[in-house]
């Protein structure tokens, strides 16, 4: 993994465009599923105290600097960082790219109705975008495998997950390996914002 190190955590201080182009290569080359973490100061702090979460972030494919405070700290410590790549901006950028490339997207998380509405908003914003499915984030662990099957059956190549930090990243780390060539992104409160 070609990342910088920040307190033992891999950080990818790359530009939004580069992150999107790396995602594009991954998907068109049919590489295995991979997770993008959108990190902020709070999530980095959590990696210090929570070894499970730390390992999840270490196993991720990209850790993008979503928080302004984190970007500030990276600059202070001399960790390379081009710009802040906010999770919501990455979600918009990847939705636009998915519309252009014909990649179906799946939206998982937030309160009932929110992901569906976010899907409608994104298809309005990015004509041609295929929302392969959406589902709220209030399901039990017993339902996990049904949710995974639903995502697999949808044919999604891009999966946005809004279950809050650290749950979304832990969930993706656990289940992405069961999916075929999917890029999963933890997007925190972004579905709420888009549906807003």
User: With b meaning 16 or more CB within 10 Å and e meaning fewer, what string describes 134-154?
Assistant: bbbbeeeeeeeeebbebbeeb
Binding residues for ligand UDP, total number by CB under 6 A: 14
Q: Tell me the CA distances in angstroms from 136 to 64, 68, 83, 121, 184, one per residue in order.
A: 24, 28, 31, 16, 16
163/111 Cα distance (integer angstroms)? 10
7/21 Cα distance (integer angstroms)? 27
Does 65 engage in binding with ligand UDP (CB under 6 A)? no
Q: Which residues contact 67 (CB under 8 A, 6 or more apart)?
A: 39, 40, 41, 42, 43, 84
Which span sits near ligand UDP by CB under 6 A: 12-20, 61-69, 92-100, 163-171? 163-171
Nearer to ligand UDP by Cβ, of 79 and 147: the residue is 147
- Nearest-CB residue for ligand UDP: 137
Site for ligand UDP in 172-191 (CB under 6 A): 188-189, 191
Nearer to ligand UDP by Cβ, of 10 and 137: the residue is 137
The one among 111, 144, 153, 180 contacting ligand UDP by CB under 6 A: 111
97/60 Cα distance (integer angstroms)? 21
Does 97 engage in binding with ligand UDP (CB under 6 A)? no
Nearer to ligand UDP by Cβ, of 12 and 192: the residue is 192
167/196 Cα distance (integer angstroms)? 22
Does 75 engage in binding with ligand UDP (CB under 6 A)? no
Pattern 122-161, ligand UDP, x by CB under 6 A:
---------------xx-----------------------
Does 109 engage in binding with ligand UDP (CB under 6 A)? yes
Does 119 engage in binding with ligand UDP (CB under 6 A)? no
Identify whether the C-beta of residue 28 lies closer than 8 Å to the C-beta of residue 54: no
Identify whether the C-beta of residue 162 lies closer than 8 Å to the C-beta of residue 188: yes
Catalog residues that contact ligand UDP under the rule CB under 6 A: 109-111, 137-138, 162-165, 167, 188-189, 191-192
């Amino acid at each position: 993994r070609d990342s910088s190190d920040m307190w033992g955590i891999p950080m990818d201080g790359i530009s939004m465009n580069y992150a999107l182009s790396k995602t594009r290569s991954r998907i068109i080359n049919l590489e295995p599923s991979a997770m993008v973490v959108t990190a902020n100061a709070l999530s980095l702090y959590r990696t210090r105290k929570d070894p499970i979460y730390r390992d999840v972030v270490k196993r991720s494919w990209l850790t993008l600097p979503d928080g302004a405070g984190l970007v500030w700290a990276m600059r202070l410590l001399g960790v390379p960082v081009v710009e802040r790549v906010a999770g919501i901006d990455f979600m918009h950028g990847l939705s636009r790219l998915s519309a252009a490339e014909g990649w179906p997207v799946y939206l998982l998380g937030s309160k009932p109705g929110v992901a569906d509405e976010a899907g409608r908003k994104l298809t309005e914003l990015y004509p041609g975008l295929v929302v392969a499915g959406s589902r709220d984030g209030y399901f039990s662990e017993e339902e996990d495998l049904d949710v995974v099957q639903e995502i697999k059956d949808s044919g999604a190549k891009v999966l946005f997950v809004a279950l809050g930090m650290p749950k979304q990243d832990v969930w993706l780390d656990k289940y992405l390996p069961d999916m075929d060539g999917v890029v999963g992104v933890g997007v925190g409160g972004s579905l709420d914002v888009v549906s807003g």
